[in-house]
Amino acid sequence: MSEYIAPIRDMQFALNALAGLEQVSQLPGCEDATPDLVDAVLEEAAKFAEGVLSPLNWSGDREGASWADKSVTMPKGFKAAYKLFAESGWTAMQCEPAWGGQGLPKLVGAAVTEMWKSANHAFSLCPLLTTGAIEALALAGSDPLKKIFLEKMVSGEWTGTMNLTEPAAGSDLAAVRTRAEPQDDGSYKIFGQKIFITYGDHDMADNIVHLVLARTPTAPEGVKGISLFVVPKFLVNVDGSLGARNDAWCVSIEHKLGIHASPTAIMAFGDHGGASAYLVGEENRGLEYMFIMMNAARFGVGLEGVAVAERAYQRARDYARDRIQCTDIGVRGGPKVAIIAHPDVRRMLMCMKSQTEAMRALAYVVAAAHDTAIHHPDSDTRKSNQAFVDLMIPVVKGWSTEVGVEVASMGLQVHGGMGFIEETGAAQHFRDSRISTIYEGTTGIQANDLIGRKIAREGGATLTAVIGMMRALDADLAKQHGEHFVAIRRRFNLGVDALAKAGEWIVTTYSGDVRAASAGAVPFLRLFGIVAGGWQMARAALIAQGRIDAGDKDPFFAAKIVTARFFADHFLSQADGLQSTVTDGATGVMALPEAMF
C-alpha cells in the first residue's frame, strides 16, 4: 500500500506563481514568510505528514477511537503523534505572536494544512477545530479569557471544539435550546446536550476548551438570542494550573461511515449541577462570534476536498502503474501492459489530476486574498479582498468537497474490483471524504449562502468584479496561438459567459422568486467552481508557457499546459449545460406534489 508523498512542486507553483506569495510576504505582519522560509516549512511539514501522520492513517481507521466510562481513547500512535505535532510548533504556525504563535500567513497555512489532511484526515480535524477556536477567542474574547486560554491552546497543550448542533436543531441554529444561567460571580452554568462534536473528548491533550452556543434567561427567540460561552473540560485555577473536572461529559461517540479515528462526540453539559462557563464577548452575539470559527472551518473543510483528491489520485496513479492487465488497445497479440496505458484509465487519472490542481490553485488564491484583507495598509484594498474572500468561501467549501468525493470515487474505479476491497486503502479515502460535503454546512447551505448573502444581497457587485478579473485574462490568452491555448481560450470564455448569464439571472430572480433561484443554487455553485478553477488553470498555463519561452526545460511546465487543456475540454465544457440548469431547471424541481414522491 503506497504512502502519501506531499506534492511540494505543485504547491510551490500555486503559492508563488498563482497566489503571489512574494506580494503576501510584503504585507505588514507577514514579512517573515520569505520564499526560503516557506520552502523550509513545506519541507518539514512534508516530512511530518509522510513520516508520522500517513503511517497512522490506515491503522487509525482500522482501530478507531473508542469510548468507555464517558472518556475517549484515541487509536494507537495518535497521542504520541499529537504530542510531537504540538512540540514541533505546528499548532502555533498561523497564530498571533502575542500568544506564542509564529504569525505565518494563511496562504502558508493552507499548504501545510492540505498536507495534514491528505496524510491523515481524521487527525487533521483536531488542529482544525483548535485553530478556529483560537481565532474566535482572539477576536471576541475578553482579556481575562485570552490570558487564561490562548497561550495553552496556541502551544497545543489544550485543544478546542465548536459546539453548535443539538438533537432537535441540526443546521437550524434558531432552534438551539441549551441554556446558560448566570451566577453571582459573573460566570454561568450551562445545561443541555450537543451532538456531532468533533474531538469533543480525547486523550491527546491536557484540557479541551469547548466553545458552546446557548441561551441566557432573557434572550430573545431565534438566532438573535444566542450567546457564546467557553466551557473547559477542566476548570483552570488562578495560577493557570488545571483544577476540578467540569460538568461537561462525552456520553457517547458516533459510529460513522469514515474518519473512524476522529471521535464525534455527544456532549452532555450540566447533568450534575451545571457546567461552569464564561461568556465570550457580549450576550446575544454568539452566532456572530461562532461564524468566525465557522468561516475558518469552512475554508479548512474545502482544503479537505483538495487533500482527499490528491491522496486518492496518488494511490490510483501508483496502482495504475503497477497493475498489469490486457494488451495495449489496438495491439493484437502484444504483451500485457500496465493499465495506465489504457485510454479510459488515462482519462480518469487526468480527471483526478486536473481537478485537484484547479482546486488547490483556487484555494491558495483565496487564502492569499484573506491575508491581504487582514494585513494590507490600504482600507479599500482590504475591503475588496474581503469581499472576494466572502464570495469564494462557499465555492471553495462546496465545490471542492463535492469534487473531492467524486475524485475519491473515481480512484476506486481506477482500482476496479480491488478498489472495493478495504485492503487497498482506496475505499477509506471515499468513506472519509463523504462527510466533507455535509459538515460546517451542507453543499445546499453553501449554495444558498452564495446566491443569497454573497450575490443577491449586494446586487451581484462582487461577482461582477470577479468576472471582470476573469475576462481580463483574455488579452493574454489571445497572444498564444498554439492548439492548446486556442482550446483553453475558447472554453474559458464560454464558461465565463455562462457564469455571467447565470449570475445575472440569480440577481434578477432572487427577490421575486427565491424558490426558483434556490432550486438552481447548487448547480450555480458547481458552475462557479468550474469556471473559477478554469480561470486558475488558464493562468497556470500562461505562466508555464512563459517559463518555457524563457528557456526552462522542466517538463512540469509542459504538463501544466496539457492539464489545463484537459480541464478546459472536460470540465469547462460543462458550463453551458449548468447555466441552462440554473436558469431553466426550477420548474421540474418544484412541480410535483409531495404525494408523488
Q: Give the tens place of pLDDT for each residue, 315-371.
A: 999 999 999 998 888 888 889 999 999 999 999 999 999 999 999 999 999 999 999
Which one-letter DSSP state was computed for residue 594? G
The 10s digit of each residue's pLDDT in 275-312 is 999 999 999 999 888 887 788 889 999 999 999 999 99
Tell me the chain's radius of gyration from C-alpha atoms. Answer: 24
Q: Cβ(49)–Cβ(55) under 8 Å?
A: no
CA 266 to chain centre: 23
- CA distance to 15, 64, 299, 395, 570, per residue, from 10 (Å): 9, 32, 20, 21, 21
Band the pLDDT of 175: cuts 50, 70, 90. confident
For residues 130 and 61, what is the distance between their CA atoms, to the nearest angstrom? 22
Active site residues: 440
Tens of pLDDT, residue by residue over 181-240, are: 999 999 999 999 999 999 999 999 999 999 999 999 999 988 889 999 999 999 999 999
Give how far Cα 174 sits from Cα of 90, 170, 277, 480, Å: 36, 10, 21, 54
The grid coordinates of residue 377 equal 495598509
pLDDT category at 449 given cuts 50, 70, 90 is very high
Q: How many residues does the chain have?
A: 597
| Residue 411: alpha-carbon gap to chain centroid | 20
pLDDT > 80? residue 4? yes
Confidence at residue 296, expressed as pLDDT on a 0 to 100 scale: 82
The mean pLDDT of 92-100, rounded to a whole number, is 93
CA distances in angstroms from 354 to 118, 348, 523, 568, listed in the order given: 17, 10, 20, 10
Q: Quick check: 508 and 381 in contact, CB under 8 A?
A: no
Find the Cα–Cα–Cα–Cα dihedral 438, 315, 352, 44, rounded to 10°. 80
Nearest partner of 436 among 316, 567, 257, 263, judged by Cα: 257
- CA separation (Å) from 289 to 192, 283, 292? 20, 11, 5
Whole-number percent of the chain with pLDDT over 90 = 92
DSSP conformational letter for 28: T
| Residue 2 per-residue DSSP state | P
CB-CB contact of 118 with 310 (8 Å): yes
pLDDT bracket for residue 170 (50, 70, 90) = low
Q: What is the pTM of this model?
A: 0.96
- Which three cell numbers, joined as nine digits, stand for 276? 461552569
Contacts of 570 (CB under 8 A, 6+ apart): 347, 350, 351, 354
Summarize the confidence of residues 579-595 as an average pLDDT.
Answer: 94
pLDDT, one tens digit per residue, over 482-511 is 999 999 999 999 999 999 999 999 999 999
CB hemisphere CA count around 584 (13 angstroms): 6
Rounded Cα–Cα distance for residues 507 and 528 (Å):
15
Contact 192, 213 (CB under 8 A): no
Instruction: Using alpha carbons, list the distances in angstroms from residue 165 to 89, 176, 190, 369.
Output: 31, 8, 15, 30
**Full DSSP string of 522-582:** HHHHHHHHHHHHHHHHHHHHHHHHHHHHTT---HHHHHHHHHHHHHHHHTGGGHHHHHHHH
Per-residue confidence (pLDDT) for residue 171, from 0 to 100: 67
Taking CA atoms, 523 is separated from 107, 205, 496, in Å, by 28, 42, 15
C-alpha cell at 321: 502503474
* Mean pLDDT, the chain, whole residue set: 96
